[in-house]
Chain A
Amino acid sequence: MTVYKVTAATGYRGHKQGEEFKADLSPEQERRAIERGSIKKVNKKEGNDDE
């Protein structure tokens, strides 16, 4: 499972902007969501967001 942070005001999968969630997104889902600015990956080990 990957941790994502919602970055867009339009939310993602029922999560609001600023919230983090874990999910197994398909590569296509992840690509579309990141490219349009809906989400970004979160590096939990480092405690920082991947940019």
Chain B
Amino acid sequence: MSKRVALLDSVEVDSVDLSNFARSVRLTSEHSREDVSGFSDTGANEYIAGPTDQSVAVEFFGSYGTGEVHATLYPIHQSRDVVPFAWRPDQTQIVSATNPELRGNVQLYTYGPGGTRGDVDTFEVTFNAADAAGLQFFDTPLP
């Protein structure tokens, strides 16, 4: 895939297609940096990668219809449920090496919709990876 303008992205939460209600997606995958520096003749620090923390931030349009954003996210947050999340760059194409899909089980620790007079109702939520499998990119569709 060449350079792209993000227009066709697919966003699924708990198997619900919320693509049309989302306008940005940002994965953060970070290994902690553990300092294992000992005495040395250079004095340079030495690090190794530690545990991995992963999350996906999605900006949604506030929507309160059947099966839409609030109906999907609030029960997940309220019940502390672990649910599947999936994102891929192009919803019109199947998952492939050039259209990889980010998948994993996530939890929603914080839920904060709101509104400002005259403004489009949008809010950001952060889905945190919830199990040892983490969030991974796959280049083949789910069976």
| Chain A residues within CB distance 8 Å of chain B | 7-14, 28-29, 32-33, 35-38
Contacts and interface: CB of A to CB of B under 8 A. Distances in A.
A7 B66 contact: yes
Interface residues of B, number: 17
B75 A10 contact: no
B17 A10 contact: yes
Contact of A11 (B16, B21, B79, B81): B16
Given A28-B81, A37-B71, A12 B66 contact: no
B111 to A, nearest CB: 14
Interface string B67-80: 11001100110010
A8 B66 CA distance: 6
B15 A13 contact: yes
B76 A10 contact: no
Interface in B63-116: 65-68, 71-72, 75-76, 79, 81, 83
A12 B15 contact: yes
Contacts of A8: 16, 66-68
A47 B85 CA distance: 33
Nearest to B17: A11
B27 interface: no
B124 interface: no
Contact of A10 (B16, B79, B81, B83): B16
6 contacts: A10-B16, A11-B16, A29-B14, A32-B81, A33-B14, A36-B66
Given A10-B18, A37-B67, 13 more contacts: A7-B67, A8-B66, A8-B68, A9-B66, A10-B68, A12-B16, A32-B81, A33-B14, A36-B66, A36-B67, A36-B71, A38-B15, A38-B67
